[in-house]
Amino acid sequence: MMSKTYEVEIKIPHSDSESIEAAILARAGTRMNSETQTDIYFDHPCRSFKDSDEAIRIRSRSSIIDEPPEESHPLVELTYKGPKIDSTTKTREEYSVGLSDADTATKILESLGFKRVATIVKRRVFYRIDDVILSLDDVAGVGTFLELEMIATGDEQMNAKRASLIQLVRDLGLDPADSVTESYLELYLKGTPRT
């Protein structure tokens, strides 16, 4: 049996990108690329993803200032996110597949009865510290956030990486208790900007 793949993530609202960037660079972080991401979220025709805490989205990426997109991600992808599995981080099962055409993929989902819920646009500046990807996110209609993410395979690796992210948040001078577990879609639908 194949092990589950998890996205282990911590998201913290903030209002000072410059000091957070300085803290990342002081911890031997490397600035990577900047991009704008447009995420179209859908709801299932037979059940509510809001109730099941799942998500399906099509993401389109465009680079800013002629920088290449993050090396391991296609310019368009379809992603499924399962329910969050703990109350302190935004850890969940996740699967993605690269696509060549966001418009056609959208038409396929809509033809199958999926309904568009929202379109979320965010500008992201990416950094790396060891095997952690960090991003300073400016999300239209939602606010500004620091996101820290790792991918884990299996439960044991997931628990170790979650502990590692929590420690890195502390090392950056932030409080893990300030993290939010809602997705950008959930925050957007609440309609209250967070900074």
CATH number of the domain within which 181 lies: 2.40.320.10
d(CA 57, CA 109): 10
Digits of tens for pLDDT over the chain (195 positions)? 667 889 999 999 999 999 999 999 999 999 999 999 999 999 999 999 999 999 999 999 997 654 554 455 789 999 999 999 988 888 999 999 999 999 999 999 999 999 999 999 999 999 999 999 999 999 999 999 999 999 999 888 999 999 999 999 999 999 999 999 999 999 999 886 665
Domain span holding position 44: 5-190
Are residues 39 and 117 in contact, defined by beta-carbon separation less than 8 angstroms?
no
Active site residue 184: no
Domain count, the chain: 1
81 in a structural domain: yes
Catalytic residue among 6, 41, 127, 184: 41
